[in-house]
Amino acid sequence: VNTSPSSGRSSPGQGIWRVRTLYACMAENDGELSFEPNQIITN
């Protein structure tokens, strides 16, 4: 997991976070994410 904000098009004080998933995850409730291993998730 990369916990450092990446540089990009954002206003000062707002970081863009990017993480790579290690495992699959199935959402159990509304508002949760489902994803497969090795996916990139950004905010």
Contact 17, 5 (CB under 8 A): yes
* Tens of pLDDT, residues 7-34: 555 555 579 999 999 999 999 999 999 9
Contact 22, 2 (CB under 8 A): no
Q: Which one has a higher pLDDT value, 3 or 14?
A: 14
User: How is the chain split into domains, by residue range?
Assistant: 1-7+14-43
Q: Which one has a higher pLDDT value, 5 or 15?
A: 15
Question: CA-CA distance, 3 to 36, in Å (whole number)?
Answer: 19
